[in-house]
């Protein structure tokens, strides 16, 4: 059994990369909504970027499975996934 005080590099790097995916997704979706403020192109780009970001988070989750929400990796992945879903809504509704 591992000591709970030790630094778990995989958990922390998973949380870090999940939040980086969220940041990159937010910046790209925001840029797409600025470049194409009206019409379906901005919405299609936002939806495509969201699917890619969620797929990357799914890959990160599979890498550290089994993961619990009570771990650093699980919390980082949960926050990033909810934030990715939430930050897509303004681009989709215009």
Task: Enter the pTM of the model.
Answer: 0.85
**Can you give the C-alpha Rg of the chain in angstroms?**
15
Of 76, 88, 79, the residue nearest 17 (C-alpha): 76
Q: Tell me, what's the pLDDT at 71?
A: 86
Give the start-to-end residue ranges of the domains of the chain. 19-93
The tens digit of pLDDT for each residue in 48-60 reads 999 999 999 999 9
Instruction: Please list, in sequence order, all residues whose beta carbon lies within 8 angstroms of the beta carbon of residue 29, skipping any fewer than 6 positions away.
Output: 45, 46, 49, 50, 87, 88, 91
Of 1, 4, 6, 14, the residue nearest 76 (C-alpha): 14
The tens digit of pLDDT for each residue in 2-45 reads 555 566 777 889 999 999 999 999 999 999 988 988 889 989 99
Q: Other CB atoms closer than 10 Å to residue 21's CB: what's the count?
A: 23
């Amino acid at each position: 059994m591992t000591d709970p005080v030790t630094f778990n590099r995989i958990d922390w790097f998973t949380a870090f990369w999940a939040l980086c995916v969220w940041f990159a997704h937010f910046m790209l979706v925001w840029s797409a909504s600025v470049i194409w403020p009206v019409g379906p192109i901005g919405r299609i780009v936002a939806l495509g970027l969201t699917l890619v970001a969620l797929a990357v988070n799914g890959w990160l989750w599979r890498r550290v499975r089994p993961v619990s929400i009570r771990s650093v990796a699980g919390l980082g992945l949960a926050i990033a996934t909810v934030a990715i879903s939430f930050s897509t809504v303004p681009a989709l509704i215009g």
